[in-house]
Amino acid sequence: MARAGAFDDLDAAFTWHPASHTSAHANSTNAFLQMKVQFDGRASHAAISPEKGRSALDAAELMNVGVNYLREHMSGEERIHYAYRSAGGTAANVVQSSVELAYIVRSPTIERLQSLTARVKKVAEGAAMMTETSVDFQIESGMSPFRPNPALTQLMYQQLLTFGAPKFDDDDMREAGRFVDKEGLLRQNAALDTDVTPLAVRASPSLGSSDVGDVSVVVPTAQVWVAAFARDTAFHSWQLVSQGKLPAAHKGMLHAAKVMAASVIEAATQPQVLKKAKDDHRQYFNGEVYQCPIPADVLPPLPAE
């Protein structure tokens, strides 16, 4: 959407993310690129004619080992993740002819992201060369780093102070307590956070990524975290999914909507704040032109028929 210009005519953008705490999101995030890595070889009987086979599975294994060694020689701010989408089959007596991996690369800037991705590709090409297989890369998605706008972040933080954190009742606390270990409950006294965390003066960069990053490059953007699930719940875990339809999650969502709406009203009625936000944005990016990490020929997936 950012690549297509959907946000070009906005003055400002406000958003939120569910969390285990409530605060303004003052952290920048990493840029992100996800690609499909496909190895193709030649199938053969693994016992009778192994010399005729060229194993795509061997190539994938070698790539993963190579990337693991690469991790020693990249910045501590960067991340590389992988997953097998297809390991080639379940028959061990067959030389696997086709394997598909998903690879994600994260780095603080688009330039460094592209550089690290190129190194990952070299490792894959080396694995293909060693196994006499072929390898193909297809970029599937990407995200720019999120850059919070200081003026708008301060504005949203003030709204959080005005509204406070979401109000949770005893039933909410009891349900959330099922997802918090006993030691954590004793330490925190409550399973759900009911306070607003002070705005960080110098927030540390987040090693995660967000598609809001692309919006933040195009237009001044601010984001808040709003408590919607139990303390210390890990993102992307079954514990988090299990809390997604509890009353506490809905309360957090509606509370975030109020904070966002109030922030929009404040920005619309205070021209000086909006001017400061635009000046901050212009100064930070210093003429930098938005560069979408997703290539122009990569289109959104078509909906299933």
Residues 84-104 have pLDDT tens digits of 999 999 999 999 999 999 999
Q: Which residues contact 272 (CB under 8 A, 6 or more apart)?
A: none
Pairing status of strand 221-227 against strand 13-19: parallel
Confidence band, pLDDT 50/70/90 cuts, at residue 230:
very high
Examine domains 13-29+146-285 and 32-143 and report if their fold is the same. no
If one counts every other C-beta atom within 10 angstroms of the C-beta of residue 92, the result is: 7
Confidence band, pLDDT 50/70/90 cuts, at residue 188:
low
CATH class entry, domain 13-29+146-285: alpha beta
CATH assignment of 32-143, among 3.40.50.300, 1.25.40.10, 3.40.50.150, 3.30.70.360: 3.30.70.360
3-state SS class at 105: strand
Kindly tell me the sign of the dihedral angle through the C-alpha atoms of 217, 220, 225, 226: negative
pLDDT at 305: 77
| Interatomic CA distance for residues 28 and 91, integer angstroms | 46
**Taking 90 as the threshold, does the pLDDT of residue 262 lie above it?**
yes
Q: Say what the pTM is.
A: 0.90
Give domain limits for the chain: 13-29+146-285, 32-143
Burial per residue of 250-289, b for 16 or more beta-carbon CB atoms within 10 angstroms, e otherwise: ebbeebbeebbebbeebbeeeeebbebbbebbeeeeeeee
Query: What are the DSSP calls for 224-248, one per residue?
Result: EEEE-S-TTPPTTSHHHHHTTTSHH
Confidence band, pLDDT 50/70/90 cuts, at residue 194:
very high
pLDDT at 98: 98
Write down the residue that tokens 């270990």 correspond to: 181
